[in-house]
C-alpha cells in the first residue's frame, strides 16, 4: 500500500466519523451519545483495518514479498530461456531422478 492510499483511507475514516456523528444526531441521539457511538464505531473500524494488515504481514502477503517472488521467478525464467537444449535435458533428467 502506497502512502497516498494510507492518507486517503485515513481522511475517509476521519470524515466518515464526522458523518457518523451527524447520522446519529439525525436519528435522535444527543450530541454526547452521538459522539460516543461514532467514536466506538471508528475504533472498531481502525482495529479491523489494523488486524487485516497484521494478518497480511503474518501470511507474507505484502507488496514487498510479492515483488521479491516476481523477481525470483523472472530470474529463473530468464535462466531457463538461456539454457541450451542439452542443458535442459540434463536438468530434466536430474529432476526426474529426484522424484
Q: What pLDDT is stored for residue 51 in this prediction?
A: 95
How far, in Å, CA of 83 to CA of 97, rounded? 20
Q: What pLDDT is stored for residue 62 in this prediction?
A: 80
Q: What pLDDT is stored for residue 8 in this prediction?
A: 95
DSSP class of 67? H
Contact present, 63 and 6 (Cβ < 8 Å): no
Q: What pLDDT is stored for residue 13 in this prediction?
A: 85
What residues in the chain have per-residue pLDDT under 70? none
Amino acid at each position: 500500500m502506497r502512502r497516498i492510499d494510507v492518507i486517503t483511507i485515513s481522511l475517509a475514516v476521519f470524515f466518515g466519523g464526522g458523518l457518523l456523528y451527524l447520522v446519529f444526531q439525525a436519528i435522535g441521539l444527543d450530541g454526547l451519545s452521538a459522539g460516543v457511538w461514532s467514536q466506538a464505531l471508528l475504533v472498531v473500524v481502525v482495529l479491523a483495518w489494523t488486524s487485516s494488515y497484521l494478518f497480511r504481514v503474518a501470511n507474507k502477503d505484502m507488496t514487498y514479498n510479492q515483488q521479491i517472488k516476481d523477481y525470483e521467478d523472472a530470474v529463473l525464467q530468464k535462466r531457463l530461456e538461456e539454457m541450451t537444449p542439452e542443458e535442459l535435458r540434463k536438468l530434466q533428467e536430474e529432476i526426474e531422478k529426484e522424484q
